[in-house]
Amino acid sequence: MNDDSDTGVAPPRLRLRIVFGEDAMLGPGKADLLEGIRDTGSIAAAGRRMGMSYKRAWSLVETMNTAFHAPLVTSSRGGAKGGGATLTETGETVLMHYRKLQEIAAEAGSARISALCALLADRSDGK
């Protein structure tokens, strides 16, 4: 795929969402949240990094924790030692599989994405 940085137009991106039945899904936002928790050790910090409220971040964590056979995130309340959150082994595995699927999909779809881009109207005018 071409990088359109010289035209000021962002390159196309592929967003992968996996839907498990009626009420469980995993997509880029939840994966980014898991990554943020892994990197910061905090649900609140991961949410802030994404411009998300703590309540929303915690709600997504609860949703993911109940969707899988084992929790993806464990947390401890604040206090003298401070609270925190970490990815469980299942959380690390889920994140790894999702990121690998993204990589595979992007690689497999790059020629088709380029073909679609070639059919787009001129976007250099910012519209």
Residue 103, pLDDT > 90, answer yes
pLDDT band at 1; cut points 50, 70, 90: very low
pTM confidence score: 0.82
Paired with 76 in beta bridges are 84
Domains identified in the chain and CATH numbers: 18-72+81-119 (1.10.10.10)
Q: Tell me the C-alpha distance between 54 and 64, whole Å.
A: 15
Residue 5, pLDDT > 80, answer no
- Per DSSP bridges, beta strands 73-76 and 84-87 are antiparallel
Q: Tell me the C-alpha distance between 22 and 3, whole Å.
A: 37
pLDDT band at 79; cut points 50, 70, 90: low
